[in-house]
Amino acid sequence: MEYPEIDAYASMDSPIHRFDPRAKIVSFTLLIFSFVFVNEIRIALLGFLFSFLILLISRLPLAFALKRIRMVFFFLFPLLLVMPLTVEGREVLNITGISVSFDGLIFASLIIIRALAAVTLALIMLATTRFDITIKALYALKVPGTLVQMLMFTYRYIFVITDEFSRMWESMECKGFRLKANYHGLSIFGNILGMIIIKSYDRTRRVYESMVAKGYSGKPNTLVHLHMSTKDYVLSTCMVGIAIFVHVYQLMFTV
Amino acid sequence: MHISDGVLSFPVIIAGWAIALLLNAVILWRCKCRHDMAEEIPKISIMTGAFFVASLVHVSIGPTSVHLLLTGLLGVVLGIMAFPAMLVGLTLQAFLFQHGGITTIGINNVMMGVPALLAYWLFRYGYSKGFNPSALGTFCGALGMILSGIFLALMLITTGEQFTEIAYAVVVAHVPVMIIEGIITGSVVTFVMKVRPELLPLEREV
């Protein structure tokens, strides 16, 4: 199993890496929401190109980014095959009574482009900041502390449990177990899962005690200090501006 | 099955966020009143981590492979805290693995969190009536899965009539996964009842 290391390239240097994490989260989130609700395919395409431009500026390795963006494309690709057949509209092609509609094709591409733009932006947002600093920025943005702490601990323990799970999985495979979709395979897998749950439950006790011993009281303390510079204000204003402009432009376009 | 960005319409997304945030606020507030949050936070987080890792396992059926959601199991093990745990899990999944979407975290949370809550209540009720826990587990696991599928289909239909056929296909596609999840949940519940019965929130309030 692979580790979900999203911030593997956070130590690089680029204008996006230097962008204040709080401003980054706010402006990128606005951009994501703005691009996702575009209804015009040309504007959606511009949004996607803009996201890709930011990806180039951020100098993240393209292989790393594309591997993750690709996932969304594969996930949504079936729409491109199904929607032209199911959506009614202008017919481009008629194969023995099955009509392929142009509107369906456009609609499916619109969905895919919007999703790709959103995922590219989300990837850049997280990949250019160390995860602990993102968490600190979330506190600074007044996201409820309980949720932020849960996010932080869950992220941290995903790595631990991945190791534990891989160990158990390897030992099962050594004994000849293969996961197949039959009753035997699934009920054995259920036992592995039950064991992981019990192990994790036991771990929670030890983790809690060691955290309390180190002074944990349920309230977060972090050592990172953030401050906004003029550059951050300019960059975030530009991004928010683009997020709003896209929708104003769309209104003018349709009226 | 999560919904990706860019599929649903604006009102559906907003409604999803509103319901998800409201339910999370109520549940966390209730938990804060009854328990010490300093103890609950690491506990729920580590369990969420375990479910997150488990949901990365793919089971191959014929030519395709599905990954587990474990909606019902999450509800049975974590009780009402399954709802905020689902929010955290979905957020991490959207950002770390690009599964599902960012704008759709709210609606996905409702779609999978509400069946988890129903599975929990049903499991507790059934257990107090003296039903066999293994059979109940199987039923709750299957129920959690098929309810998620039905919710997903309903959301697709409310978004637009272009999605009607896809919505039917989605429900049908959930049936094999429902059987798989049912068997797994039943077997997990049997195992946990044998090894560490106090782990399941049957006697205590969550």
pLDDT, tens digit (0-9, with 9 covering 90-100), for A89-138: 777 667 666 777 888 888 889 989 999 999 999 999 999 999 888 988 99
- For the complex shown, is ipTM > 0.90? no
Put simply, the answer to whether B45 touches A203 (Cβ < 8 Å) is: no
Mean pLDDT across B155-169: 83
At A73 the pLDDT is 84
- Probe site for chain B from A82, A186, A199, A202 (most B CB atoms < 10 A): A186
Put simply, the answer to whether A165 touches B42 (Cβ < 8 Å) is: no
- Probe site for chain A from B23, B188, B198 (most A CB atoms < 10 A): B188
Confidence at A179, pLDDT banded by 50, 70, 90: confident
- Which architecture does CATH list for B10-199? Orthogonal Bundle (1.10)
At B161 the pLDDT is 77
**Domain residue limits, chain B:** 10-199
pLDDT beyond 90 at B123 = yes
- DSSP run (H or E) holding B40: helix B37-54
Q: Report A:61-90 residues touching B (Cβ under 8 A).
A: 68-69, 71-72, 75-76, 79, 82-83, 86-87
CB-nearest to A153 from B7, B37, B46 is B46
Mean pLDDT across B170-193: 90
Pair type for strands A91-95 and A98-101: antiparallel
Put simply, the answer to whether A161 touches B49 (Cβ < 8 Å) is: yes
At A68 the pLDDT is 85
pLDDT, chain A, mean? 87
Distance, CA of A141 to CA of A123 (rounded, Å): 20
pTM of this structure: 0.89
At B204 the pLDDT is 67
With a pLDDT cut of 70, the percent of chain A lying above it is: 95
Q: Report A:6-65 residues touching B (Cβ under 8 A).
A: 6, 29, 32-33, 36-37
**Domain residue limits, chain A:** 15-138+225-254, 144-213
Confidence at A215, pLDDT banded by 50, 70, 90: confident
Confidence at B205, pLDDT banded by 50, 70, 90: low
Mean pLDDT across A60-69: 89
Characterize B23-42 residue by residue with b for buried, 16 or more Cβ atoms within 10 angstroms of its Cβ, and e for exposed. Answer: bbeebbeebeeeeebebbbb
At B85 the pLDDT is 93
At A86 the pLDDT is 75
Put simply, the answer to whether B4 touches A76 (Cβ < 8 Å) is: yes
Chain A residues close to B70, C-beta within 8 Å: 193
Confidence at A52, pLDDT banded by 50, 70, 90: very high
